[in-house]
Amino acid sequence: MKAERFTIIIALMLGFLTFSSSLPVNTSAATDGAYVFFTEEVEEPTFDEWHVRWHKTDQNPDSSLDTWCRQMHNAHGGTHAAWCSRQGYNTHYINGTGLRPYNGNITSLQPPVDPTKLVLRYDTNMDAIMRRELVGASYYDTITMNFWFYSDTGRSDARQPDGGSYVGYDFLNVIYYTTNNGVISKHVLWTDTYEQATAKTWLQESVTIPSEATWVGFEFVSGTVPPQGGDDADAFAAYNIRTTPEGSTGMKEGVYIDDVVVMGTGPSDDVPLFTHVDPLPVYEQVKNFTISWSHNDPEIAKFQYVDLYYRITGTEQWTKYANVQNPQGRFTSSPISFNAIQDGNYEFFTQGYDINGGAEVWRGVADTWTVLDGTPPVSTIDIGGNLRNGAYSGSATFTLSGTDAASGVDHISYRVDGSEWTIYEGMVGLTIDGQHLVEYYAVDKMGNSEPIKKATITIVDGVPGVVFQNSGEHSNDGNITIRFTVTSTAPIIELEYSLDGGDYVSIDANTTSVSLSGLEDGEHALTVRARDSSGNVLINEAEFTVGMTSNTGEPPLNGDMTVLAIAGVVGAAALGGLALIGIRRRRG
């Protein structure tokens, strides 16, 4: 669908560049050539590859952090679009224990969950900006930005930021920036109408960007009160979520952005040459990879070659690149075959030259970067418990950790006694009598995998219970997920939790984590209580702290694991299940 939609656009805007780049030096093309500053379909292979292309800020962070992000709930084409408020928790909803849900998951659905099924709501007091840089805009007669947007907002007391005019509904701005002596200033170019803001359908818009613009982007602004037509107070009662204050109306979905194209036409006769390295994948695995670059000379009348400069993060010196095929390092065509010398984070920029010997202004600032990582990560295991004569009495825990000098560790997989491979999320508790084989390996963000490692853990006098995997953790922002495993010889039929001695909240019997948000600073305790089909009641408590610094003066008790006594009848000592991370499979 998206490919069909862009066929004509690509043919008109990019096809010209493809044709002109193949022309030999000194050959002229049409004088009204177009230059595409950037396109954005929000369909980059990974989040990081989208994230690095935009500069995103929250201009009102005191009212919780709300920033643009990409999501899969609603898109014009493909599977992704940018959304105004993915990060942060929402101040107008609350659950049964007094905690606020996230903007991007109002119903607090637990993973794994289809991301298209999440309920998204923006917040009040928002001023979220995302912008991209324009280089050389002043040398084109006309710069146009075409984009698609979907808006579901309503009437409120919203105003333009910084004491601006009254708008009267939550709105979307197209903004641009000008730069003077290194200081950038924001300007509002376009604001959606009330009819557009409440349309709840995808609309296309085209705006003309002033030639003095150095950045261009989008800004979403909401008022201090919920919009008219927001959620009913009991809209999510089935999820134990209500609006706050009690009985008030809630929020709406917000704004999505997709399929953005910024193009310049009508280049002036004195357009200086400027070049840039095209965006690279976040990671490269082999030392030889290609680097594509572009230039702005639509007539191919002045361009001659580029020099490619690189450096590895941690070094200050830029190095001009040359290879066997081009020992002088003067590259006339794209892409360039680059041979890296070692793993690391590589930065690149180009400097162009024209046929008269003139040089593009030296930038010394990276156009793009990539991480070269061809080395597997290294993982280690740490086993804890009451070790006596080579065996652990009652229970044991193990934690896995990994290191990778280049791209970083993506995940660690493990399994116990030949069970299914599981992604490691935190400390694992074992309470099953006998000898257990733990196998594990780490994978880095490039996809390099280390060989499987093995460890043996022997348990005697095992005791079933609730095992927390991250008790003692600390949260700076009031948002935390506590993970646990329930081990028992019988199926778990009831599971519930209580925060700080409050009422118990029922959760699915297969749940292995509780996510909390909007917590006040200080010490907190989460109690998990389970009941199995044999009548055994298993209880445990995890303590944790919230705040920018711990109030206890002591480090968090990372690695501490406690299995509390069982209230009720305990089954035989020979237990029938392993304590594993993930959704616990219901038995029976």
The string of DSSP letters for 73-87 reads: S--SSSS-EEETT-S
- Encoded amino acid at 389, one letter: N
Q: Among candidates 100, 124, 136, which has minimal Cα distance to 216?
A: 136
What is the per-residue DSSP string for 48-110?
HHHHTT-EEEES-GGG-----EEESS--SSSS-EEETT-SSB-TTEEETTSPPPBTTBTT-PP
CATH of 272-372, one of 1.10.10.10, 2.60.120.380, 2.60.40.2550, 3.90.1660.10: 2.60.40.2550
Using CB atoms within 10 A of its CB, is residue 316 exposed (0-12), middle (13-18) or buried (19+)?
A: exposed
Q: Among candidates 302, 324, 321, which has minimal Cα distance to 311?
A: 321
pTM for the model: 0.59
CATH 2.60.40.10 residue ranges of the chain are: 378-460, 465-567
* Contact between residue 326 and residue 337 where contact means Cβ atoms under 8 Å apart: no
Q: Backbone phi, then psi, for 54, in 5-degree steps? A: -125, 145
Measure Cα distances from 72 to 42, 120, 251, 515, 577 in Å.
10, 11, 20, 21, 37
Place of tokens 């646990």: 484
The one-character DSSP state at 225 is S
Q: Backbone phi, then psi, for 21, in 5-degree steps? A: -70, -15
Using CB atoms within 10 A of its CB, is residue 411 exposed (0-12), middle (13-18) or buried (19+)?
A: middle
Instruction: Please state the CATH superfamily assignment of the domain spanning residues 465-567 in this structure.
Output: Immunoglobulins (2.60.40.10)
Question: Who's near 491: CB < 8 A, 6+ residues apart?
Answer: 509, 532, 533, 586, 587, 588
* Contact between residue 78 and residue 202 where contact means Cβ atoms under 8 Å apart: no
Q: How far is the C-alpha of 153 from the C-alpha of 169, rounded, in Å?
A: 7
* Contact between residue 563 and residue 395 where contact means Cβ atoms under 8 Å apart: yes
- Encoded amino acid at 159, one letter: R
Q: Return per-residue pLDDT of the chain as tens, 588 residues.
A: 444 443 333 333 333 333 333 322 222 233 356 788 889 999 887 787 788 789 999 998 877 778 999 999 899 988 999 999 877 788 899 887 777 888 999 988 876 678 888 899 999 999 999 999 887 788 888 999 999 999 999 999 999 998 899 999 999 999 999 988 878 899 999 999 999 999 999 999 999 999 999 999 999 999 999 999 999 999 999 888 999 998 899 999 999 999 999 999 887 767 677 888 988 888 899 999 999 998 876 555 678 999 999 999 877 799 999 999 999 999 999 999 999 999 989 999 999 998 888 898 888 888 888 999 999 999 999 998 888 899 998 878 888 999 998 888 999 999 999 988 988 877 787 878 899 999 999 999 888 999 999 999 999 987 777 878 777 888 887 888 888 878 776 788 899 999 999 999 988 887 878 888 788 889 999 999 998 888 888 898 989 999 864 333 333 322 222 232 222 222 222 222 222 222 232 333
CATH code of the region 378-460: 2.60.40.10
**What pLDDT is stored for residue 428 in this prediction?**
80
CATH 2.60.120.200 residue ranges of the chain are: 35-265
Q: Backbone phi, then psi, for 175, in 5-degree steps? A: -125, 160
Q: How far is the C-alpha of 578 from the C-alpha of 115, rounded, in Å?
A: 30
Place of tokens 């070094």: 315
- Encoded amino acid at 440, one letter: Y
CATH 2.60.40.2550 residue ranges of the chain are: 272-372
**What pLDDT is stored for residue 301 in this prediction?**
60
**Exposure string (b/e) for 132-156, b if CB count within 10 Å is 16 or more?**
bbbebbbbbeebbbbbbbbbbbbbb
CATH code of the region 35-265: 2.60.120.200
